A and B are shown apart, each in its own frame.
Chain A
Amino acid sequence: MTGVMLWGVGTSQYRLQPEKRVEELAWTAIAEAVADAGIQPWQIEAIVVGTVFGPPGVATRVQRGLGLPGVPMWTVENACASGTSAYHEAVEAVRRGRFGCVLVLGVDQMSTLFSGAIVPEATDPEGASSLPLPGLYALQAQRYMQEFGVTPEQLAAIAVKNKRNGLDNPRAQLRDKAPTIEEVLSSRMIAEPLTFLQCCPTTDGAGAVIVGRERNNPNDLRIEASAMVSGALWDHRSPDVWGYASVARAAEQAYEQAGRSPAEIDVLEVHDAFTIGEIITLEALGLAPRGKGAELAPSGHTARDGAQPVNPSGGLLSRGHPLGGTGTAQIAEIAWQLRGTAGARQVARHRVGLVETMGGGAAGMDGNACVVTILSVP
């Protein structure tokens, strides 16, 4: 893919902020992204919004404050991958020459809907049977532990790494302290083997990304690849745990577009809603063979000062997870890392970055959708 650039990024704080209107979260992120891109609002030619819980009409209520009457606008929903799905559509639109500058917004305000874990969707066969999302991931973790000998300590190491990274992220929700392995394991059990500190918190937030055509601005980053896949059947025939295959499909496309191998990626932001998720995802992204992904955090490979830092922002485990607002926050972190402006979180090698978001929860499918994008310093 040539000629599509990331112009600017911005985010709100990631916090419980039910006292704010959801539009306010969006406007904060958009204003920062517009300033970061160095453009005027009227240069925006189209808007793509990713949100799961909306509410319906949120895109228009946001637009009302932007002064962009009549611009083409879409709202997309792909579970946790909604924000990156919106981004993918914007990238494709610019790549095909339809627009020269597109605003992407990912937003969700969870605190006004749920007081704890997300209530499973009543129209879903497994949701109706009271399978919560941590339960779905716990089933994969149990399978992994029994099939590959993955230990609770290896799972906990993901939480320790990401929550330590998050201490340096002023926009992350959880910044009190970084727990030890023992503290992670002794925190309240949610769904065996996943304890409370292995689950991302409920959060409100918005992230905005502006993508556009090439324009010779030294601040811009090259979008080498963007791949989006929807789910495929996950059933009794499937050789892999749930979620693996959808990430692998998107990753294969992205690496091919970029002409890169997994070893060439300097820094990653991936979907760690639950600790086991980061392990499965890194295997699907090719950073480790199947069954070996659990070794990446304990060995230091994915630490901020490791060979391939993963979730230097603190990930969803620290930042929190406002579903639609997650993907665009991941892209913002990679943009700051690649530009070398990530402050205390800055990783040493930052030429090529990767973002992965996998959304799921529909029974019998290996994901609702997965997006993988690769960015680089031009």
Chain B
Amino acid sequence: MSELGVGRPTKRRPGAAVGGLPVADPRPVLDGAGADAAVVGLRCTQCRYPVPQRRIPWCPVCYGSVAEARFATTGIAWSSTVVQIAVGGRKPPFALAYLDLDDGPRVLVHLAEPAVVPIGTRLRITGTDDGDLVAEVAA
């Protein structure tokens, strides 16, 4: 914090990374490894809408019931950027991309290499880093 705050009361935001208390992890989950790896979430039993999160009450598109689903770890980049500022515990530079999983939802991933990739680039989620999905350009 700046010198301005010295000697005065301070406020805190949620999140252990910024000095607050831990919260339940809201991020998409990668389950399994290698050929069995999948992003787990929910899919509508009526319209097949895929959701990269758990415990939603019904399909937000058609109100149908949802069931657990395993999504491909591959897909195409919708867009990407390289962040050049520190964010929470993340040190720059680090790259982020929206990845449209094959027959699955759009998820935010970290890229293994800190570089922008062309839209439409095929990516594969290869693991996690401190709970964040990590993807690389598919060979």
A residues contacting B by CB (< 8 A) are 18-19, 55, 111-113, 115-117, 119-126, 128-132, 134-135, 138-143, 146-147, 188-193, 233, 235-236, 363-364
Contact = CB atoms under 8 A, between A and B. Distances in A.
Given A135-B83, A143-B78, A190-B85, A115 B116 contact: no
B122 interface: no
Given A115-B1, A129-B27, A123 B85 contact: no
Contacts of B96: 129-131, 135, 139
Given A123-B24, A125-B28, A126-B108, A132 B5 contact: no
A268 B52 CA distance: 38
Contact of B27 (A111, A128, A233, A236): A128
B25 interface: yes
A146 B119 contact: yes
A132 B83 contact: yes
Contacts of A18: 4-5
B132 A130 contact: yes
B40 to A, nearest CB: 13
B81 A142 contact: yes
Contacts of A190: 83-85
A19 B5 CA distance: 9
B32 interface: no
B90 A142 contact: no
A131 B96 CA distance: 8
Interface string B8-25: 001101111110100111
Contact of A233 (B52, B61, B87, B97): B61
Contacts of A123: 14, 23-24, 26
Interface in B70-104: 78-85, 87-90, 94, 96-98, 100-101, 104
9 contacts: A122-B15, A128-B27, A142-B81, A147-B119, A188-B84, A192-B81, A192-B84, A236-B50, A236-B78
A142 B117 CA distance: 10
Contacts of A117: 85, 87
B65 interface: no
A132 B79 contact: no
Contact of A139 (B10, B28, B81, B88): B81
A193 B90 CA distance: 19
A39 B81 CA distance: 51
Contacts of A121: 14-15
B45 interface: no
A190 B92 CA distance: 10
Contact of B94 (A125, A130, A146): A130
B2 A236 contact: no
A118 to B, nearest CB: 9
A103 to B, nearest CB: 26
A130 B14 contact: no
Given A122-B23, A129-B27, A192 B105 contact: no
Contacts of B25: 128
- Looking at B83, B94, B110, which has the most chain A CB atoms within 10 Å of its CB? B83
Contacts of B13: 113, 119, 122
Nearest to B4: A18
B4 A113 contact: no
A131 B108 contact: yes
Contact of A236 (B1, B15, B94, B106): B106
Nearest to B119: A146
Contacts of A191: 81-85
A141 B4 CA distance: 34
B112 to A, nearest CB: 15
B62 to A, nearest CB: 12
Nearest to B103: A236
A275 B78 CA distance: 20
Nearest to B12: A113
Contact of B106 (A19, A115, A128, A235): A235
Contacts of A115: 1-2
A147 B78 CA distance: 11
Contacts of A125: 26-28, 52-53, 108
Nearest to B120: A146
A121 B105 CA distance: 22
Contacts of A124: 26
Contacts of A112: 5, 10-11
Contacts of B50: 236
